[in-house]
Amino acid sequence: MKKIIYVLILSLVVVSGLIFFVNRETKPSTKLLTFAERDAERKKWEASADGIKYQEWKVSAEGKKVKASHDKIRKSLKDFSEMEAVVTSTTFKRTNAESGPKWLIVSINGEEYMMQFIPKDFEPLKNLKVNDKIIVRSRSAGYSPNHPYLILSGDYIEQNNKMLFKRDFSKNKGC
């Protein structure tokens, strides 16, 4: 009698497990692209109008200047180390842009860099003035033919040993 009960319970557990496994909802997963697919997507983009414009900008004098400025601070970005900066503008606006993000333009070792902030994040930085010295730490930088300088992620900014801004990566999943 015990053997029959154990067999029934075991079969019930197995069947329940199978039903659960078959009927469970699966979350949509992001498809990982193979190298070939990624290469094909890149080539497709490079053939588009935006891709052609970017490639032309990359070999232009402006593009080469931005690339050279990135090379100067690449190690500091990789190490997330402190960079001494001087504020050169707190009121920069892109041409044809009436509203949008706030920009902080800084000079690091004689090169100009841009940092973009949403208005809420710019609040602690609004008291900065031209020629103020600050310490900047950044994890990444980006190129854009629409911007005159390399765009730094302003992850940490301090002035006179006082933290003014620190990006909270927990709110945006590390982006």
Residue type, 52: I
CATH number of the domain that residue 113 is part of: 2.40.50
In a domain, 61, yes or no: yes
Give the span between the Cα atoms of 98 and 81, in whole angstroms: 34
Confidence of residue 169 (pLDDT cuts 50, 70, 90): confident
3-class secondary-structure state, position 146:
coil
CB 10 within 8 A of CB 18: no
- pLDDT value of residue 96: 65
Integer CA distances (angstroms), 85 to 19, 30, 108, 122, 130, in order: 62, 39, 5, 17, 11
In a domain, 13, yes or no: no
Residue environment code for 90-108, b if the CB has 16+ CB neighbours within 10 A, otherwise e: bebeeeeeeeeebbbbbbb
How far from chain centre, in Å, is Cα 124? 21
pLDDT at 9 over 70: yes
Q: What is the DSSP string of 25-57?
A: PPPPPPPPPPHHHHHHHHHHHHHSHHHHHHHHH
In a domain, 24, yes or no: no
How does the average pLDDT of the chain come out, rounded? 86
Confidence of residue 30 (pLDDT cuts 50, 70, 90): low
The pLDDT tens digits for 46-67 are 999 999 999 999 999 999 999 9
Q: What is the mean pLDDT of residues 134-158?
A: 92
Q: Where is pLDDT greater, at 33 or 152?
A: 152
In a domain, 64, yes or no: yes
Domains contained in the chain, number:
1
- pLDDT value of residue 16: 77
In which domain, by residue range, is 145 found? 43-166
The pLDDT tens digits for 103-125 are 999 999 999 999 988 888 889 99
CB 90 within 8 A of CB 159: no
In a domain, 94, yes or no: yes
Which pTM value belongs to this model? 0.71
- Give me the percent of the chain exceeding a pLDDT of 70: 87
Q: What is the mean pLDDT of residues 121-150?
A: 92
In a domain, 144, yes or no: yes
E strands in 43-174: 83-89, 102-108, 111-117, 133-137, 141-142, 150-152, 156-159, 162-166
In a domain, 30, yes or no: no
In a domain, 22, yes or no: no
pLDDT at 155 over 60: yes
